[in-house]
A and B are shown apart, each in its own frame.
Chain A
Amino acid sequence: MTATKTMPDTLHRTGSITFDHIGKQYSNGVEALSNVDFTIKPGQFVTIVGPSGCGKSTLLRIAAGLSWPTSGKAVVPKTKPGVVFQDATLLPWKTVLQNVELPGKLDGLKQDDYEKKAMNVLYNVDLDKFADSYPGQLSGGMKMRVSIARALSLEPSVMLFDEPFGALDEITRLHMQDELQKIIVNNPFTGMFITHSVSEAVYLGSRVIVMAARPGRVIDDITVPAPYPRPASYRYQPEFQQIVERITNALIKGSAMSDPEHGSPSK
């Protein structure tokens, strides 16, 4: 697969994630992942889209070190990835600033250091004025931005996103997608972004991986050539529409081939 030229070359990106024939089977026989094999190359922002149960979240948790495969291996950079979950998971007893400082503090950085990094990244997501607020005082979208800021604060080479905008309302969601594009352009990470929205996957990704359920497997792998940042109008371009159509067809075909009883594609 040729390296996509959609990311600006000005930032040196080094992170990569390799899934090497990953399988995950549970003791009750359910195959959450079956022979998932692909590499996210440095600089790519890969979105993974698929129905519930296709294993996309499981795959992310394996990359994050929260779960492990029953076969195959995942290769990730040694420095810890920044992880953004669907729930912002901010510690409610700490202020916004203290929450963003948390990864630095856990890593043993000096106070001046982690404080500076945290304020810096809060400026970047435009929440510096809320540094001393508590999460309980913020809206859903703002909490998600703090969560993203926290993940960015130590400048990781890899960022993992697990359906971060799933719990937000439509307007906020669209706004956050554009915010995220700016963050992608200005920060040197390689990204893996899980979503169940086809249009979100195509709008945000430089490469879209389509998965199907029962068993969890990759059924398509599409490059999205448009450079960042993409304007809102990109959603109405024929190129966008064609990719969405291709993905939707793949998803329909993939669910038709799934076997609900045995977790394997029916022949």
Chain B
Amino acid sequence: MTAITIPTLTRKTTMATAAATRKNMKEGSMADTDMADVTVYTKPAEPKIKVPKFVTNVIPGLISLVCGLAIWTFVSTYVLGQRAFLLPAPAKVLTGSLMLPDHFAPMMTALLLTTRVALFGLLLAFIIGVVTAIIMKHSKLAEKAIYPYAVILQTIPVLALVPLIGLWFGYGFASRTTVCVLFTLFPIISNTLFGLQNIDQGMVDLFQTRQASFRQRLWMLELPAALPSIFTGLKTSSGLSVVGAVVADMYFTQGTPGIGTLITVYTSRLQSTDLFAAIVMSAVLGLIVFEVFNKLSDMVIAHWHLTRSHE
């Protein structure tokens, strides 16, 4: 029987092994012991400071906002010099326009009108879109007949249709709403149709074994099952509704001005602080409308449908 040699553990050897292990542990989760043919996985080293989650979610956005404002101010103040009217500094936009009531009031009135156009256009598009999608789902003929025109709706430039719309509906609220509907209709049709056509076959079978009527199928199965897709369409269209309303304001200027109308007016008069203020307000409107529909979607379907929502 061969003698087994046991290495003598002196203080020097144990310290050396410990140091080697510490060195390897720093890297994270792998530690090579003095045995060459194994890999050891252990818990990685803990980060020294624990950062609360809301900080990691909020701080990066704040930092980019501050950086953006800083760059904007720098360019406006030092780079443009005499042509500062091209890009007024954020501080100037605030003090020279947003905070002055006689500048702010007409912009707010205009914004409210634009909001009305956007929401009314969205509502119309929603009703027309969902009904159209339901018809297309239940009739292959209707689907083939309507779909190409829905696609054309998506691709045709609004500018090409503006003279026609002006001729038909005048240059006021009705035309603005029409433009808004043109922007928002297609996403609602295509998303709703997608949702209706992709219902789990097992559920369809279930309703068939119970010999459910058309109305029962529509209200108790098809529309609820399609809700997540309908909301996807609504969220997309909500952003587009603001875009559509602002663009419409720019072309159809009759009656009370919308924010888009003011944007063209300020541009032509080179009132750049007011122009930027109006742009900022339009952007904020778009954000608010989108968030409203996001929250609405969460309230209605979150308890049963896992949708990715932005943090």
Chain B stretch 261-311: residues in CB contact (< 8 A) with chain A: 301, 303-305
Chain B stretch 192-207: residues in CB contact (< 8 A) with chain A: 200, 202-203, 205-207
Interface residue count for B (Cβ, 8 Å)?
21
Alpha-carbon distance A64/B204, docked complex (angstroms): 13
The interface bits of chain A over 39-77 (1 if a CB of B lies within 8 angstroms of the residue's CB, else 0) are 000000000000000000000000011100000000000
Given A87-B202, A93-B224, CB of A65 within 8 Å of CB of B304: no
Chain A stretch 120-144: residues in CB contact (< 8 A) with chain B: 134-136
Whether B221 is near chain A, meaning CB under 8 Å from some CB there, is yes
Query: Are A81's CB and B304's CB within 8 A?
Result: no
Among the stretches B151-159, B163-171, B210-218, the one at the interface with A is B210-218
- Kindly list chain A residues whose C-beta atoms are within 8 Å of the C-beta of B210: 80, 102-103, 106-107
Categorize the interface residue count of chain A: 20 to 34
Whether A38 is near chain B, meaning CB under 8 Å from some CB there, is no
Query: Are B209's CB and A66's CB within 8 A?
Result: yes
- Kindly list chain B residues whose C-beta atoms are within 8 Å of the C-beta of A213: none
Query: Are A93's CB and B227's CB within 8 A?
Result: yes
Query: Are B211's CB and A80's CB within 8 A?
Result: yes
Query: Are B205's CB and A89's CB within 8 A?
Result: yes
Alpha-carbon distance A66/B220, docked complex (angstroms): 19
Query: Are B209's CB and A80's CB within 8 A?
Result: yes
Mostly, the B contact residues are helix
- Kindly list chain B residues whose C-beta atoms are within 8 Å of the C-beta of A85: 202, 205-206
Chain B stretch 161-193: residues in CB contact (< 8 A) with chain A: none
> Which residue on B lies nearest to A88, using beta carbons?
B202
Query: Are B209's CB and A83's CB within 8 A?
Result: yes
Given A80-B211, A103-B210, A107-B210, CB of A134 within 8 Å of CB of B303: yes
- Kindly list chain A residues whose C-beta atoms are within 8 Å of the C-beta of B303: 93, 134
Whether B139 is near chain A, meaning CB under 8 Å from some CB there, is no
Query: Are A83's CB and B206's CB within 8 A?
Result: yes
Residues of chain A whose beta carbon lies under 8 Å from any beta carbon of chain B: 64-66, 80-81, 83, 85, 87, 89, 91-93, 102-103, 105-107, 134-136
Residues of chain B whose beta carbon lies under 8 Å from any beta carbon of chain A: 200, 202-203, 205-212, 216, 220-221, 224-225, 227, 301, 303-305
Q: List 6 A-B contacts (CB under 8 A).
A: A65-B208, A89-B203, A103-B210, A106-B210, A106-B211, A106-B220
Beyond known contacts A65-B209, A80-B210, A106-B210: 8 more, CB 8 A cutoff: A64-B205, A80-B209, A85-B202, A89-B206, A91-B221, A93-B225, A93-B304, A105-B220
